[in-house]
Structures are given as structure tokens and as C-alpha cells.
Amino acid sequence: MHPMLNTAVKAARKAGHLINKAILDPTKIQIMRKEKADYVTNIDKECENEIVNILTKAYPKHEIIAEESTDKETLKKKLRNDVEYTWLIDPIDGTKNFIHDFPFYSVSIGLLYRGRVHQAVVYDPHRDELFCASEGRGAYLNNKRIRVSSQEILQSCLITTGFPTSEKQIQAFYTEKLQIFLDAEVNFRRTGSAALDLCYVAAGRTDGFFEKGLKAWDVAAGSLMVKEAGGFVGDFSNNQDHLCSGDVIAANPRLFPAILKILASRKG
């Protein structure tokens, strides 16, 4: 295992331990509202601090971008910085699930090397499932190699997505696109953790995933997982700008073009 990946695994497992400990005693979980329909807990912040401390101690010169300590404008600026190494951290991807003890959330840590995702860890503490990937070395689940599915037919596939909660423009987009998918008899799941959704595509548990309006820390690690498992990842214009745009499609190579065609099409 690459030494930087090994450090990220250590940090993810430490955060996972804090999460599992909190679930055993929910009275210690403090819930705070960040903005409309967006919440954070003291456990998110504790996990982030632990991860940052571990990474900073090992690599003090690396840039750190973490969800609970980075605002939108700072995120944009840091993603544009020409630095060698940048860590992208989501201490609990799926906080709303965590608050409700709905067991689908994860710790996501990705490392960029000059703007490309180089190392990736996504840890599901509830199931003790550790997804890891290194650029050019494949993707793994608990040390076993994983591959995307071979499903070819859109009508027979299983796709995950994330539904919008507040932005009207995004809601309109989903209203239009989901109807097209539903008319094609596509089966959907809405889980609440984009990082795990991407890992499930990588593991062949689902055939595709798309979501609009995500942040870089939501998709960095999972996107490398899909690529290293033989899948395709891109934005809705079939470019590789998903870290900045927040619009991401991931699927096996056979289904990616069909999903992209629907999402890229415009009325009229």
C-alpha cells in the first residue's frame, strides 16, 4: 500500500471509531444547522479534527481542504491553486443519515497530486468496509480487487442519485431528467452518501450514479475508485471538471454513454 494511502486509511479508521462510538450513545451527538436543509454535528467536527491532525503530522506541507472548515469561496480558490499535494476530506458524508441512525454514511479522504486524484479512501464504519484506490494500481474493498458491473441495458440497470432539497433550478433539472429515466423503466435508489454511491458503482453493486451540485470532497475519493475499477467518470458535458462543477456521472463503460446522453440533453 502506498504510504500516503496508508496514512489516509489510519485517519479514516480513527474517524470511523469516533462515529461508531457516538452511535452507541446518541445523547452525545449535538446537531447544528449550517444553512437551509444542511446540518452538521459535533461528531463531524471531531472526526475532521482527528483526520486533519493525522494528515498534517505526517505531511505538514500538504494543502488541506476539509468540509467543516472550508467555505465555498475558499474551496474554489484552493482547487485552483497550483500546489503539489492537496487533501480533500469529508469527515461524515451522509450527515443527515448519521443523525437519524440510518446506516449509510462514510468517511471520505482523497489526495490530489497536481489536480489529479492520486489516492483515495472511503470507509463505511457501520459495515466495516474499507474502499481504497491508488492511481494506476486498481481499486479494492477490504483488500479484494473490485470491478464495475457489466450491465449493458439501461432498462435493467440500478442507478443511484441524490435528490435536491432547496435549489429550484436543480429541482427543475431533476424533474425533467428523472421522468426520462422513469419512462425508460430505470430503477433508482437515493441513499444519501455520494462517496459510498461511487464506491458501490466501483464494486459492481450498482451500475451507475449521477448527482448535481456536489462539492469536491464528496466525489474526489469515490471518483478514483470508479476509474480504478474500470468505470468512467465525468461531468454532464463529458469533461473531467466534476471536482469544480459538482456535477458528476459514474458508470460502467457500457452504460455511461446512455446516461450521459439523457443528462446532457436539453429541452427544445
Are 125 and 161 contained in the same domain?
Answer: no
- Same-domain check for residues 94 and 164: no
The per-residue pLDDT for 268 is 37
Q: How far apart are CA 171 and CA 188, in angstroms?
A: 17
Q: In what order do the strands lie in the sheet with 85-93?
A: 63-66, 85-93, 106-113, 116-124, 129-134, 139-141, 144-145
Last residue of a domain, one of 145, 166, 193: 145
Task: Indicate which CATH number applies to the domain containing 258.
Answer: 3.40.190.80
Q: Does residue 15 sit in the same domain as residue 141?
A: yes
- Residue ranges for the chain with pLDDT beneath 50: 268
Residue 100 phi/psi, 5-degree rounding, is: -90, 5
Q: What is the CATH number of the domain that holds 55?
A: 3.30.540.10
**Boundary of a domain, candidates 116, 145, 174:** 145
pLDDT of residue 37: 66
pTM higher than the cut 0.85 = yes
| Domain hosting residue 84, numbered range | 3-145
Let me know whether 59 and 121 are in one domain. Answer: yes
Pairing of strands 248-251, 38-41: unpaired
Q: How many structural domains comprise the chain? A: 2
Among 83, 117, 145, the domain-final residue is 145
- In three-state secondary structure terms, 85 is strand
